């Protein structure tokens, strides 16, 4: 068992990971400034599932886990450097899991202020953690949650390796380099900057670092969050923070057409939330030795085209429609994506893949809390540039059903959005 600080341990990935690490015997301390909850207030878009206070969550976990205690430290690691150093010296952790970054690409593109916040929070936070580890003098293994988006989503022409490329430089010189970065948003840009910061501190100070390039997370519950209703994880469905598959599943549950951006030909990597926690645990258990390069894993289970995901979900739910809308993102309409995850597989990773049963579970979670859904938050509200904004301007006013159907639904529901959504489910596909 190790002492592990989970930075950002109140978030969508951080919370279930903290519970899983505690269950398998680690001594866990969650560090968070609750910024994700504050962004809920800003966006006026709460989690579909009701999230309890941190004290309530921790008390519930202690009650259902046989007395296992997770401690909590309220702290902004991007701003409170001296407190962070003091925390490391007091707790003397074996490992730090770093989730403490603004994680939504659309939010990072919302305005100049949101771009600047994302850079300030993410890059300063990562650098503060590394500088604090060096200043503490402790041998701490850093596990960072990165993203597959650092590689970009153009057609690569081959399998994306785990972090590094073996290349031949001019003159026939052999070298190993980081895979070229091709970020698609300010959020992804911060993750590519993180990767360079890690390379420097690994080279200069021999820090032991593992960078996990993770796919898009789907699912809500894990074996740990199911133990008590008060432990339930976030379920974001809004256009800024809802991941694509979770958004589709929620839309299906409430009778809202599945909103596919552009052609839906974007191929993306996916991983279930339970596997996020398991992969982090594997990384903690298999740290690089001092002096070894930054360890990079591709933390993915499978790849799918967005339109194929929409069809899978639409086929599950009778009457579910698919609606293509203009893409708010500046990205390729179609792309291929082949990803290596052999290193994780060699450590015993047996991924959870898409199955009807698991998809049904998420639809049922969405259905249970349907009264908390604000359908005005579904359509995109963040746009990559002015051209995308102009192209998408008509989507908010355009009916998602045919004109006759829309008129009928409006008349029968008398303008009540909840009743309108329920009636829409009865329409033929």
Which residue(s) pair with 4 in the sheet?
28, 95
Cβ–Cβ under 8 Å, residues 300 and 272: no
Query: What residues have CB less than 8 Å from 314, skipping those under 6 apart?
Result: 252, 258, 320, 321, 322, 429
Cβ–Cβ under 8 Å, residues 21 and 4: yes
Which residue(s) pair with 409 in the sheet?
none
Which residue(s) pair with 210 in the sheet?
143, 295
Q: Where are the beta strands (DSSP E) in 75-149?
A: 95-98, 141-147
CA distance 283 to 349: 11
Which two tokens mark 335? 């792309």
The conformation of residue 222, written as its DSSP 8-state character, comes to -
**Of these residues, 17, 49, 118, 147, which one is catalytic?**
147
Active-site residue flag, 386: no
CA distance 190 to 196: 10
Nearest to 222 by CA among 15, 74, 400: 15
CA distance 239 to 259: 10
CA distance 87 to 91: 6
**Of these residues, 117, 151, 190, 191, which one is catalytic?**
191
**Of these residues, 107, 153, 187, 261, which one is catalytic?**
187
Nearest to 95 by CA among 31, 139, 147, 30: 139
Which two tokens mark 207? 């820090």
As a 3-state breakdown, the chain gives helix, strand, coil percent values, each rounded to 5, of 45, 15, 40
Which residue(s) pair with 178 in the sheet?
164
Q: Which residue has the tokens 């969650």?
A: 30
Catalytic residues: 147, 187, 191
């Amino acid at each position: 068992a190790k002492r592990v600080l989970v930075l950002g341990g109140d978030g969508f990935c951080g919370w279930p990971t903290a519970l899983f690490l505690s269950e398998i015997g680690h001594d866990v301390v969650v560090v968070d400034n609750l910024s994700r909850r504050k962004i809920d207030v800003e966006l006026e878009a709460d989690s579909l599932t009701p999230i309890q206070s941190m004290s309530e969550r921790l008390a519930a976990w202690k009650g259902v886990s046989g007395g296992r205690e997770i401690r909590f430290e309220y702290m902004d690691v991007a701003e409170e450097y001296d407190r962070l150093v003091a925390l490391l010296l007091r707790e003397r952790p074996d490992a730090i899991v770093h989730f403490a970054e603004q994680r939504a690409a659309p939010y990072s593109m919302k305005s100049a202020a949101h771009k600047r916040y994302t850079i300030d929070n993410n890059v300063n936070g990562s650098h503060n953690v590394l500088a604090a580890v060096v200043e503490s003098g402790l041998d701490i293994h850093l596990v960072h949650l990165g993203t597959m988006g650092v590689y970009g989503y153009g057609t690569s022409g081959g399998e994306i390796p785990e972090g590094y490329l073996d290349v031949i430089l001019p003159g026939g010189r052999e070298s190993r380099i980081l895979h070229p970065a091709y970020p698609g948003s300010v959020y992804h840009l911060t993750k590519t900057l993180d990767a360079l910061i890690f390379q420097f501190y690994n080279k200069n100070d021999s820090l032991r670092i593992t960078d996990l390039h993770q796919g898009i997370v789907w699912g809500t519950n894990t074996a740990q969050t199911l133990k008590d209703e008060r432990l339930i994880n976030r379920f974001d469905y809004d256009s800024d923070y809802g991941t694509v598959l979770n958004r589709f599943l929620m839309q299906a549950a409430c009778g809202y057409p599945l909103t596919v951006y552009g052609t839906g030909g974007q191929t993306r990597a996916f991983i279930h939330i339970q596997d996020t926690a398991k992969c982090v645990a594997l990384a903690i258990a298999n740290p690089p030795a001092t002096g070894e390069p930054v360890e990079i894993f591709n933390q993915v289970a499978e790849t799918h085209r967005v339109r194929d995901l929409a069809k899978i979900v639409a086929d599950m739910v009778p009457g579910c429609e698919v609606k293509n809308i203009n893409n708010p993102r500046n990205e390729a309409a179609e792309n291929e994506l082949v990803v290596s995850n052999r290193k994780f597989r060699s450590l015993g990773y047996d991924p959870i893949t898409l199955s009807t049963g698991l998809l049904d579970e998420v639809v049922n979670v969405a259905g249970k809390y349907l009264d908390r859904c604000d359908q005005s938050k579904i359509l995109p509200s963040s746009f990559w540039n002015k051209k995308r904004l102009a192209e998408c301007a008509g989507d908010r006013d355009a009916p998602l059903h045919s004109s006759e159907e829309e008129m009928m639904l409006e008349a029968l529901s008398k303008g009540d959005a909840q009743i309108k959504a329920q009636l829409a489910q009865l329409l033929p596909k």
